[in-house]
């Protein structure tokens, strides 16, 4: 949906070592193209969360990708995420200024594109 969504996703994926077994919250995923890319290329489980885009529409798109086991579409309001008490806060990733240091590898990642 964003003009450079896929490019930004690839760029962000260089900042963390994504791998099978990891969990990624793709917050504001839009049509979940970035979620599909992350799951397909790096193998984490991805929660594809968006407020305005229907998770049912994203689910239908997933059927074509064969990633129903890896990508879970859901509707979520970014300011009211229902994390459990005591749940470790996810690492928050954003595109960073060119000269800022590379973030440390994270076990959990939130992508905001």
Positions touching ligand SAM (CB under 6 A) are 1-2, 5, 28-30, 33-34, 50-53, 76-79, 113
Three-class HEC string of 68-113: CCCEEEEECCHHHCCCCCCCCCCCEECCCCCCCCCCCCCCEEEEEC
Among residues 38 and 53, whose Cβ is nearest to ligand SAM? 53
For ligand SAM, the closer of residues 81 and 87 by Cβ is: 81
Q: What is the smallest separation between the CB atom of 55 and ligand SAM, expressed in angstroms?
A: 11
Nearest to 19 by CA among 83, 112, 109, 113: 109
- Is residue 105 within 8 A of residue 20, CB to CB? The reply is no
Toward ligand SAM, which CB reaches closer, 39 or 76?
76
Least separation in angstroms between CB 20 and ligand SAM? 22
Looking at the Cβ atoms of 74 and 87, the one nearer to ligand SAM is: 74
Tell me how far apart the terminal alpha carbons of the chain are, to the nearest angstrom: 10
CB of 88 to ligand SAM, least distance (A): 21
């Amino acid at each position: 949906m964003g003009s450079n969504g896929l490019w930004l996703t690839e760029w962000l994926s260089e900042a963390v070592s994504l791998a099978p077994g990891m969990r990624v919250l793709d917050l504001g995923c839009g049509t979940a193209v970035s979620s599909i890319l992350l799951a397909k290329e790096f193998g984490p489980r991805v929660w594809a969360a968006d407020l305005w885009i229907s998770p049912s529409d994203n689910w239908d798109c997933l059927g074509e990708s064969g990633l129903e086991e890896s990508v879970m579409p859901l509707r979520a309001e970014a300011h009211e995420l229902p994390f459990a008490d005591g749940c470790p806060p996810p690492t928050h990733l954003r595109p960073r200024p060119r000269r800022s240091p590379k973030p440390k590898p994270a076990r959990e990642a939130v992508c905001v594109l």
